[in-house]
């Protein structure tokens, strides 16, 4: 170069192919300091030549078999267009390059890829970035739903209702204990259209009613409602957001009256969180929010555990000790209230699960001898909500007697 300008000059070597010793670009330029970005932004390119140089980072990407698309996003945190992204198909060995450096989308991807992040800035500089992978929401839903089915026992029944578009709500699979058939039905579902949430709940209620009438046996009846949007189609099949929300809340009340609990899941930022929370609250269920695929799968696992192991809710043990018996101490976090008719002791256990044990103990004393009653009849009881029979049950506690021969403290346990 003849008669070069005075000042600081830079030499940058870049290779966009991470696995081939092909020719690379060498840029010689003068300009402001070049940490990241395009040369024509941060300096004036004067010439280029080639040599062999490469440096890159690799990341393994495992793709679930249900995924119909794979998106890989490269996000530089300190500059724009400072990185390139390559994908190598681990099965076929083919390569995909996005020359803009930010996003690659693959339809019907293979089971795995290797991502190569190649810097497009001088090797002496450093940068940072995020590498994110995406699959379609509907594919993530299928994975999570089938994960839930994997927890079901042989005597558990599961069905599927799909709701989308104006009046396109239909039963994909009626309740059955053939989870393989249900999983196949789930795989056939596609995402499209609007959100007739009210009719989705209505169809689920009708299916449960029909099934329970045919079986005529107690069961835990649960609806899992997943939505990534807002209710916007009313029960008449019309687009009307306000009426659609009112219809959805009405159907939640119907579900409650029929003894059906609804677990709701909001998937993604477009979900109507408030509405889903209201549905869960009305029916005694729970609301969950999932921001990504893994969170959605974890939620379905949590619901499966909650549904399949819970036998009672809101368990309250109330023991009324007669006024001639003094209570010295009680176990746990019992509420103790003294009245003129005796001492009221109550424990609250939110949930009781299969094979779970609970016990409470009371230490008492009395100044009387002979036979002493330790409980007041008809008011000492156990109440709980039976999740299998969907009703509240009250069981009287037995009235215990102590034969006191000496007035000193004694203790017993309620089991």
Cα–Cα distance for residue pair 339/366, rounded to 1 Å: 17
**pTM of this prediction?**
0.67
CATH 3.40.50.410 residue spans of the chain: 137-291
Q: Residue 233: which of 205, 185, 200 has the closest Cα? A: 200
Query: What does each C-alpha distance from 54 to 23, 27, 174 come to in angstroms?
Result: 10, 15, 58
Match 């921001």 to its residue by tokens: 291
Cα–Cα distance for residue pair 179/156, rounded to 1 Å: 9
State the CATH class of domain 137-291.
Answer: alpha beta
Beta bridge partners of 169: 163
Cα–Cα distance for residue pair 344/373, rounded to 1 Å: 15
pLDDT at 369: 82
Q: Residue 29: which of 14, 48, 15, 16 has the closest Cα? A: 48
CB count within 10 Å of CB 170 equals 13
CATH number of 9-134: 1.10.3470, 1.10.10, 1.10.150, 2.60.120? 2.60.120
Contact 268, 291 (CB under 8 A): yes
pLDDT at 185: 92
pLDDT at 390: 75
CATH 2.60.120 residue spans of the chain: 9-134
Displacement of CA 57 from its chain's centroid (Å):
32
The DSSP line for 253-302 is HHHHHTT-EEEEEEESTTS-HHHHHHHHHHHT--EEEESSHHHHHHHHHH
Query: What does each C-alpha distance from 295 to 264, 274, 299, 348 come to in angstroms?
Result: 14, 19, 6, 31
pLDDT at 359: 87
Q: Residue 263: which of 211, 297, 303, 318 has the closest Cα? A: 303
pLDDT at 26: 60
Residues 6+ positions from 184 with CB-CB distance below 8 Å = none
Cα–Cα distance for residue pair 196/167, rounded to 1 Å: 7
Q: Residue 98: which of 81, 112, 111 has the closest Cα? A: 81
CB count within 10 Å of CB 6 equals 6
The pLDDT tens digits along the chain (415 residues) read 666 666 666 665 555 566 655 555 565 655 443 333 333 333 333 333 333 334 678 889 988 888 888 888 887 766 545 677 889 999 998 988 765 557 888 899 999 999 888 776 555 455 667 788 888 888 889 999 999 999 888 889 999 999 877 666 778 899 999 999 999 999 988 887 789 999 999 999 999 999 988 776 667 889 999 998 899 999 998 999 999 999 999 999 999 999 899 999 999 888 999 999 999 999 989 999 998 888 998 999 999 988 888 888 899 999 999 998 999 999 988 999 999 889 999 999 988 888 788 888 999 888 888 888 888 988 999 999 888 777 899 999 988 888 887 655 555 554 4
In angstroms, how far apart are the furthest CA atoms of the chain? 119
């Amino acid at each position: 170069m003849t008669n070069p300008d005075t000042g600081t000059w830079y030499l940058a070597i870049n290779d966009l192919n991470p696995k081939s010793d092909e020719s690379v670009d060498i840029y010689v330029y003068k300009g402001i300091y070049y940490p990241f970005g395009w040369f024509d932004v941060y300096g004036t390119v004067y010439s280029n030549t080639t040599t062999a140089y490469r440096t890159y980072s690799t990341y393994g990407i495992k793709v679930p078999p249900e995924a119909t698309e794979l998106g890989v996003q490269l996000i530089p945190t300190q500059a724009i267009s400072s990185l390139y992204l390559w994908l190598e198909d681990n099965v076929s060995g083919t390569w995909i390059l996005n020359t803009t450096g930010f996003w690659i989308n693959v339809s019907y991807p293979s089971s795995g890829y290797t991502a190569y992040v190649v810097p497009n800035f001088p090797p002496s500089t450093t940068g940072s970035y995020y590498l994110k992978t995406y699959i379609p929401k509907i594919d993530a839903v299928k994975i999570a739903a089938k994960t839930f089915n994997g927890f079901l026992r042989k005597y558990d029944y599961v069905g599927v209702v799909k709701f989308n578009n104006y009046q396109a709500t239909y039963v994909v699979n009626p309740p059955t204990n053939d989870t393989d058939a249900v999983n196949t039905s789930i795989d056939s579902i596609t995402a499209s259209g609007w959100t007739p949430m009210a009719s989705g709940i209505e169809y689920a209620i009708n299916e449960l009613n029909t099934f329970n009438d045919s079986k005529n046996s107690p069961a835990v009846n649960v609806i899992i409602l997943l939505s990534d949007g807002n209710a916007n189609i009313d029960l008449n099949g019309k687009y009307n957001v306000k009426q659609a929300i009112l219809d959805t809340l009405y159907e939640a009340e119907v579900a409650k009256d029929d003894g059906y609990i609804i677990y709701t899941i909001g998937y993604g930022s477009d979900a109507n969180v408030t509405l889903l929370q209201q549905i869960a609250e009305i029916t005694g269920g729970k609301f969950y929010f999932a921001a990504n695929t893994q969170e959605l799968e974890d939620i379905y696992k949590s619901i499966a555990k909650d549904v399949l192991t819970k036998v009672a809710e809101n368990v309250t043990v109330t023991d009324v000790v007669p006024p001639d018996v003094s209570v010295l101490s009680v176990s746990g976090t019992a509420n103790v209230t003294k009245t003129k008719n005796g001492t009221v002791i109550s424990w609250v256990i939110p949930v009781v699960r299969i094979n779970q044990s609970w016990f409470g103990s009371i230490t008492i004393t009395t100044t009387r001898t002979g036979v002493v009653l330790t409980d007041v009849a008809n008011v000492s009881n156990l109440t709980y909500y039976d999740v299998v029979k969907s009703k509240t049950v009250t069981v009287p506690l037995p009235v215990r007697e102590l034969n006191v021969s000496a007035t000193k403290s004694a203790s017993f346990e309620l089991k």
